[in-house]
Chains A and B, each alone.
Chain A
Amino acid sequence: GENVEQHPSTLSVQEGDSAVIKCTYSDSASNYFPWYKQELGKRPQLIIDIRSNVGEKKDQRIAVTLNKTAKHFSLHITETQPEDSAVYFCAARAGFQKLVFGTGTRLLVSP
Chain B
Amino acid sequence: NAGVTQTPKFQVLKTGQSMTLQCAQDMNHEYMSWYRQDPGMGLRLIHYSVGAGITDQGEVPNGYNVSRSTTEDFPLRLLSAAPSQTSVYFCASISRAAAGELFFGEGSRLTVL
Q: Chain A interface (Cβ within 8 Å of chain B)?
A: 1, 6, 9, 32, 34, 42-46, 49, 89, 95-96, 98-104
Contact = CB atoms under 8 A, between A and B. Distances in A.
Given A95-B99, A96-B50, A96-B99, A101 B43 contact: yes
A77 to B, nearest CB: 19
A1 B44 CA distance: 13
Interface secondary structure of A, over-half rule: loop
Contact of A99 (B96, B102, B105, B107): B102
A1 B90 CA distance: 21
Contacts of B104: 43-45
A103 B40 contact: yes
Contacts of B44: 101
A103 B90 CA distance: 15
B52 to A, nearest CB: 16
B91 to A, nearest CB: 10
Contact of A96 (B31, B58, B90, B105): B31
Interface of B: 31, 33, 35, 40-45, 48, 50, 58-59, 90, 96, 99-102, 104-107
Nearest to A103: B42
Nearest to A9: B40
A100 B102 CA distance: 12
B58 A44 contact: no
A43 B42 contact: no
B25 to A, nearest CB: 13
A49 B40 contact: no
A43 B102 contact: no
Contacts of B45: 98-100
B42 A34 contact: no
Given A101-B42, A103-B41, A43 B105 contact: yes
B21 to A, nearest CB: 14
Contact of B100 (A32, A43, A44, A103): A32
